Amino acid sequence: MEHMFAKRFFLPLLAAGALLAQHGYTQADVEAGGRLYRTNCSSCHGPNGDLQPGVDLGHGKFRRANSDEEVASIIMKGIPGTGMPPGNFPESQALTIVAYLRSMAASANVTVTAGDPARGKEIFEGKGQCLNCHRVRASGSRVGPDLTDIGTLRRPADLQRSLVDPDAEVLAQNRYYRVLTKDGQTVTGRLLNEDTFSVQMLDTKENLRSFKIADLREHAFMAKSPMPSYKDRLTAAEMSDVIGYLTSLKGF
Amino acid sequence: MKSRFLALFSIAGALSAQILSAQVTFERLLHPEKEPQNWLTYSGSYDSQRHTALREITPANVKNLELQWVFQQRSLEKFEATPLVVDGIMYTTQAPSDVVALDATTGRIFWTWAANVSANSRTCCGKVNRGVAILGDMVYVGTIDGRLVALDAKTGKPVWKVEVAKAEAGYSLMHAPLIVKDKVIMGVAGGEYGIRGFIAAYDAKTGKEAWKFYTIPEPGGKNGNTWAGDSWKHGGASIWVTGSYDPELNLTYWGVGNPGPDWNGDKRAGDNLYSDSVVALNPDTGELKWYYQFTPHDDFDFDSVQVPVLANMDWQGQQRKVMLWGNRNGFFYVLDRTTGQYLLGKPFAKVTWATGLDERGRPMRQANMEPTPEGTLIYPGNLGATNWYSPSYSPETGLFYLSVWDNYYSVYGKTEGEYVEGRLFMGGAPRNVVPLLMQPAPTLARKEEEGYGALRAIDPKTGERKWEFKMTDVTDAGILTTATGLVFSGGRDGNFYALDAKTGALLWKIYLGGPVASGPMSFAVNGRQFIAVNAGTSMYVFAVKQ
């Protein structure tokens, strides 16, 4: 109990990095845990961890657990008699989910206001030109990540970070790839699949492409996301509205 | 930063024109002859001839076919799908209802859509799927739990989904949808669960239902008096194989399944329309133009879900639009597809339930040949003299090629039973005297007089057999013919082979280790022709060795 009090008290004062260091988690742990969380947890708990009544995973408060090991144990064993099922994770993976939950708590003091979704949609489709790369349901381009259900996967703070600093975190399935063929053709796009002898991509022309590695001079992930920062492109109010729109996208 | 942004924007803008050209328009579906390298619909063309115009693989070089790649379905179910190929991309399904996009030259996967089907889904005979349809940039699939889903062809992400029918009540979707104009046409399976069958059309862009044709009319409606009492409510008449389309007549043709309960017709006196029939519908409205019933008041489970094969030919001195049909009931039929008029009918396998067909094509029932509580031995057996296996018609040879089970019989038993939603409603169970094997196994114990499989070439003008290729075991394989005079097919024994289309001579074979329970198809990428076929739980793709 003392441990938890200390954490809650110091939370606003500590930078996320310092908190992570305290628990011995690396940034890679947090990212791995985030992937597991989005795949296994967010459909019930929501991107903010607060979708279940009376349960709030995003602020470092747990009713039935204090230590990280106790949280991991719940993730692995579930809570009998409730809707929380046991998760099929080894403890090392469950602890990365804990790392992610701790990082959510650490960034929870970043107040991001989700603005008006209707105005946000206008900016998204108009001034922001977001559909040139992104897709929502049947509209827009497939070149960037599909945002149809982004509101179930990402918190407002994550969305703001991606809008301001697109390279801060790029999910593995959204990383950009570039091949240079032996006859000098450069093709970029999203990597869909690869094996020892070939790569499969959705290129920037929205064509499904398959290349034999023997036909390529170079092939590698691109260092930078092709997405521009919207820090200076949108006003604070516009940014907030776009975030409001994105958080409203819950699939169909 | 700005330049990078603008560069990306201009790429996206410039690209939209190209994307448009790559779209699979209805115009393209109407003219597969202009792009024989592609296979755009379940049967390869709206006339469902399952015939390829590609000419690289010939009787001379077919012996040089070699395996190029294998796709292993992540399911132990039967692999009954026919893939589509569009400009080097292959789309197929893996049981029960997942969709996979592959590189057609290497088999490498671009995307997979997992259907995550409901545990409430139920089927009599396997949670299978037979393929997808494509229009524009969308791929359409019916799921075993009753949903019709439109997926983005580039990403596999769902664009819309609708519930066609309730899985809990025994409805399921299995066949590849058929696109006509701007609509997706889908029928429901579940003939062993007391469903009331229907075919429905949905707006391809939105999924909004456009029309629904019940394969069992209501009591007050036309032909509603062909079902006694309330039997129409649970009379089956399912749809589980893709229909055909004649754009000139603007008619779509669908084979309809058995009436239910399958083997006890006591409570459904009457012809039980439109079970065991072919129905010709207006694809814009669902209006019935004509029907032809192969087996009135069926009590053998003789589904007429065969693929309607459309051909234009000289018929007794007159050019005629005909429909060729090898029926599960053991008779081969030729119909005029403009009017539904019966032109010819002849048994193609041993039949004892009828003595023949009358001048209008109605079967003349053999006395005492019907299911009984103690059981009656009748030919053909319960799985039919043929079944859903795609036949083929070659315009070059003028022959109709059909997968046949001959000398095959069952002992048809009959029981009582009440309809309970979601439960099997069959009224009996036929028994096979000699067991049918589901997989190649070292106990093929049947004698020829106990049933065997064959691929038969039938002259549609006479109904006479031109030749046959006999197999020891029975066959669930569809058939592909080529413009170069080849016939590809296989059998339950796990063999896949090529025959001479004129003579039936064996030109090439390979043992694939699992039953061939799908129709072979052909496509080409960068000028190289491929043949694809499923056997067991895998798809095998062949090309001539380079």
Phi-psi region at B372: left, alpha or beta (left = phi > 0; alpha = psi -120 to 50):
beta
Residue A251 Cα, gap to closest chain B Cα (Å): 10
Between positions 69 and 108 of B, the ones with CB within 8 A of A are 88-89, 101, 103, 105-106, 108
User: Could you report the predicted ipTM of this complex, rounded to two decimals?
Assistant: 0.84
pLDDT of residue A182: 97
- At B75, list the tokens: 């399911």
Q: Which residues pair with B411 in a beta bridge?
A: B377, B431
Q: What is the pLDDT of residue B318?
A: 94
Question: Three-state SS for B6?
Answer: helix
SS3 category, A153: helix
Query: In one letter, which amino acid is B442?
Result: P
Could you tell me the pTM of the whole model? Answer: 0.87
A196 in reach of chain B (CB within 8 A): no
| B371-419: pLDDT as tens digits | 999 999 999 999 999 999 999 999 999 999 999 999 999 999 999 989 9
Region at B223 (left for phi over 0; alpha for psi -120 to 50; beta for the rest): left
pLDDT one-digit tens code per residue, A13-43? 334 444 444 467 888 888 899 889 988 898 8
Distance from CA of B174 to the nearest CA of A (A): 24
Query: What is the band of B150 on the pLDDT scale with cuts at 50, 70, 90?
Result: very high
The pLDDT of residue A104 is above 90: no
Percent of chain B with pLDDT over 90: 91
User: What is the percent of chain B where pLDDT is above 70?
Assistant: 95
Query: Using an 8 Å Cβ cutoff, are B473 and B444 in contact?
Result: yes
DSSP string computed for B124-179: SS-------EEEBTEEEEE-TTSEEEEEETTT--EEEEEE-S-GGGT-B--SPPEE
The identity of residue B47, as a single letter, is: D
Give helix A27-40 / helix A91-107 axis angle, nearest 10°: 100
What's residue A109's pLDDT? 63
Q: What amino acid is encoded at B126 in this protein?
A: G
Locus of tokens 């592609």: B38
pLDDT tens string A195-245 = 999 999 999 999 999 999 999 999 999 988 889 999 999 999 999 999 999
The pLDDT mean for chain B works out to: 94
pLDDT of B270 > 90? The answer is yes
Q: Do A210 and B101 touch (CB under 8 A)?
A: no
For residues B129 and B95, is the Cβ–Cβ distance under 8 A?
yes
How does DSSP classify residue B440?
-
Q: Which of B99, B119, B117, B122 is nearest to B109 (CA)?
A: B99
Residues A245, B292: Cα–Cα separation, whole Å: 55
Tell me the mean pLDDT in the region B141-157: 97
pLDDT computed for residue B257 by the predictor:
98
Chain A, chain B: beta-carbon pairs less than 8 Å apart: 73
Condensed to tens digits (0 to 9), the pLDDT of residues B273-310 reads 999 999 999 999 999 999 999 999 999 999 999 999 99
How does the average pLDDT of chain A come out, rounded?
86
Residue type at B158 in one-letter notation: P
Closest CA to B156 of B198, B217, B114: B114
Kindly tell me the burial class for residue B348, based on how many C-beta atoms sit within 10 Å of its own C-beta (0-12, 13-18, 19 or more): buried
Complete edge-to-edge strand list for the sheet that includes strand B209-214: B178-180, B183-187, B198-203, B209-214
DSSP letter string over B291-348?
EEESSTT-SS-----PPPEEEEEEETTEEEEEEEEE-TTSEEEEEETTT--EEEEEES
For the beta carbon of residue A26, count every other beta carbon within 10 angstroms: 12
The answer to whether the CB of B288 falls within 8 A of the CB of B223 is no
Optimal mutation site among B18, B90, B108, B111, interface A, most CBs of chain A within 10 A: B108
Q: Average pLDDT for residues B482-495, to the nearest whole number? A: 96
Q: Do A252 and B5 touch (CB under 8 A)?
A: no
CB B110 to CB A202 under 8 A? yes
A126–chain B Cβ distance below 8 A for any pair: no
Strand-strand pairing, B277-281 and B288-293: antiparallel
Whole-angstrom Cα distance, residue A95 to residue A75?
Answer: 9
Would you put residue B122 in left (φ > 0), alpha (ψ -120 to 50) or beta? beta
Give pLDDT, residue B475: 95
Instruction: Read off the amino acid at residue A144.
Output: G
